[in-house]
Structure 1
Amino acid sequence: MYTIKVKFEQRGLEPVILNNIKADQSLLEVCLHNGIELHHNCGAVCACSTCHLYVEDGMHLLEDLSDKEEDFIDRAVNPRINSRLGCQCVLQEGSVGEVSITIPDQTQFLGE
């Protein structure tokens, strides 16, 4: 089981701690199942960059960055060294721990 700590760059949103999160889910799925808005214009198939987020801690608990994901991160708004796509950050089976993420301001995207 995982604990996911979520911070937001968007004004007015307070940090959230999600406990007892099962493995083999993407961070996008975890966010959506817990009422946290994270855009995913391509339907979570690694074909855009709208589910872009920052992994602050726990990167070793996620599946490795693929070349395809890296290409789309380059297209994201304000990419950083710890940037990932939420749809590609799958919590590894057989591990437990804490992952801390920051979600960029989602008001910059129109539609879904």
Structure 2
Amino acid sequence: MATVKFTFEDPSLAAQIVENVETDISILEVTEDNGIHLNHNCGEVCACSTCHIYVLAGEDALEEISDKEEDFIDRAINPRLESRLGCQAVILDKDAVIEVKIPNQSGIIGHEH
């Protein structure tokens, strides 16, 4: 089972590690299942950029980025080379160790769980 370590740009939030993560689920689904805040507006269909994240390690364990996802990442706040959309970053490797940084969510108007 995969492991996902979450860190946050917001310094008031402590890092969280989620272990025993199933494959074929997205990073957004991992956040939803574990009470980690990540905005998302479009219903996980790659139609916005509110679930923008940075994948710091383990990118090879994720589904390859699509052209459509790249287009929406360009619309995100402060996109970087390691940017992904949480709804599209699907975990494929059962032994993956993935490190994700969640950008500051305070400036994003989006669905909260």
TM interval, short-chain normalised: over 0.9
Indicate the SS of the match to 1:107: coil
| Matches for 1:4-83 after TM superposition, within 5 Å | 4-83=4-83
In the other structure, the counterpart of 2:98 is: 99
SS in 1 for 2:20: strand
Structure 1 position 110 matched with structure 2 position 109: yes
Instruction: Quote the offset at 1:111 in angstroms.
Output: 4.0
- Structure 1 alignment gaps of length 5 or more: none
Identity over aligned pairs, percent: 53
Structure 1 residue 43: Cα displacement = 1.0
TM-score normalised by structure 1 residue count: 0.96
Aligned pairs, how many?
111
- DSSP 3-state at the match of 1:43: coil
Any gaps of 5 or more consecutive residues in structure 2? none
- Per the normalisation by structure 2, the TM-score is 0.95
Give 3-state SS (helix, strand or coil) of 2:106's partner.
helix
Higher fraction of helix: 1
Aligned-residue offset at 1:60: 0.2
